[in-house]
């Protein structure tokens, strides 16, 4: 799961494109970070609306990779 969704070359390129498309709303995952930690860190401390938007895009992107 970690390799396919976050760390393989293809996944990293997808995350870079989503980051650009979302104007930085979705962060590019650290290839060394585990899936759960990446998810929690990316959503920590955000306002509810921003958290929902980011989580939606992260879920959609990971699912489609």
Q: How far is CA 51 from CA 9, 20, 40, in A?
A: 26, 18, 11
CB 53 within 8 A of CB 26: no
pLDDT for 9:
92
pLDDT for 33:
84
pLDDT for 17:
97
Model-wide pTM > 0.75: yes
Task: Output the six-digit token pair for 16.
Answer: 């870079």
pLDDT for 46:
95
Render each residue's pLDDT in the chain as its tens digit; 65 residues.
878 888 899 999 999 999 999 999 999 998 888 889 999 999 999 999 999 999 999 999 999 99
């Amino acid at each position: 799961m970690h390799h396919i969704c976050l760390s393989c070359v293809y996944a990293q390129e997808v995350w870079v494109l989503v980051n650009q498309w979302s104007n930085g709303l979705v962060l590019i995952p650290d290839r060394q970070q585990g899936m759960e930690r990446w998810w929690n860190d990316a959503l920590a401390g955000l306002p509810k609306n921003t958290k929902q938007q980011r989580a939606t895009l992260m879920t959609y992107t990971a699912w489609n990779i």
